[in-house]
A and B are shown apart, each in its own frame.
Chain A
Amino acid sequence: MTRIFVTVGAQMPFDRLVHAVDAWAYTRGRSADVLAQIGPSVAPPSHVKHVRFLEPAEFDRAYDEADLVVAHAGTGSILAALERGKAIVVMPRRAALRETRNDHQVATAKAFAAIGSVPVAWDETELAEVLDRATISRGEAVVGRYASPRLIGAIKSFVESP
């Protein structure tokens, strides 16, 4: 069984993503594989197991146990997957659909897609296709736990400057 963890963060609902995964899982007979963190959802999903919010320790466990993460294109969600070497698929929120206040997630998704290792579904239809093709975790961290040595050095020397 491939365990799939869906996460949309805590701030705003993103039911378009939740329902797309719900429908995909149902039609593929995979509903039992999915745990969805749905935030302040307006209409919770019908088929997959879901919770609105998770505390940090529960988030850690959900990420650790997942073989595949499906997330909004938030940097926190993406970094949590990459630093654990978890396969992740993202779908950005859209300002035009009032899923967020501006299209920064579209830009974030583009940027991570360009780096590689983060497949992007630009809409719900594409999400089903991406999920059908998605590979599971390699188990190797794609990014380290801390910022780049250059950034650490720049901030450290600023902190320690007289």
Chain B
Amino acid sequence: MILAALRRARSLARGSTRPRRILAISSGGGHWIELLRLRPAFEGHEVVWCTVDATYRTHVGDAPFHTVRDVTRWDRVGLAQCATEVLGVLGRVRPDVVVSTGALPGFFGIVLGKSLGARTVWLDSLANVEELSMSGQRVAPFADLWLTQWASLARTAGPRYEGSVIA
């Protein structure tokens, strides 16, 4: 205990931060490509990836990688299964922070992650140019950092605009 406190004090004095465990979760296609483009933000931390397509493992090298089933909002049974699988991943990973670019698997990651005590980041997809996605609207109460990638969609009460996955 004392040693840990000393270590923490020393690392604070050096200005470095304790490594966080991050769960980066999204569905496939563009959501996943956008999530991968955030990698520099996770440097120095432990990242666990979760998506819906097992072949995407090759994108993240040796990093821990989980898959859950994909789902649309019209598939009630699928929704329950997807949420259960995401909950299972959260239980195994115990992340400090959950980051998602959508869609539904990410929504469950944020909502359930928040209720398990993680801090949460929702980055609404670049594809949502004229209005926030349905998941992006409903996730608001559970997202500590709630972001859009289009300045025109930012509001005082959120979501905030802090740039996009394009540079």
Contact = CB atoms under 8 A, between A and B. Distances in A.
B163 A150 contact: yes
Contacts, number: 125
B149 to A, nearest CB: 8
A149 interface: yes
Interface majority SS (helix, strand, loop, mixed), chain B:
loop
Interface majority SS (helix, strand, loop, mixed), chain A:
helix
A41 to B, nearest CB: 17
B162 to A, nearest CB: 4
A105 B56 CA distance: 23
Contacts of B99: 155, 159
B104 interface: no
Interface stretch (B27-35, B61-69, B82-90, B107-115): B27-35
Interface string A123-162: 0000000000000000000011111111111111011100
Given A9-B29, A107-B130, A155-B145, A144 B22 contact: no
B94 interface: no
Contact of B58 (A57, A77, A149): A57
B141 to A, nearest CB: 17
A152 B29 contact: no
B65 to A, nearest CB: 13
A149 B167 contact: yes
A110 B56 CA distance: 29
Interface residues of A, number: 37
Contact of A56 (B30, B39, B56): B56
B138 interface: no
Interface string A1-35: 00000000111000000000000000000000000
9 contacts: A76-B30, A79-B34, A104-B129, A146-B37, A151-B164, A154-B145, A155-B145, A159-B20, A159-B22
Interface of B: 17, 20, 22, 28-34, 37-43, 45, 53, 55-56, 58-59, 72, 97, 99, 119, 121, 123, 125-130, 144-145, 147, 149-150, 162-167
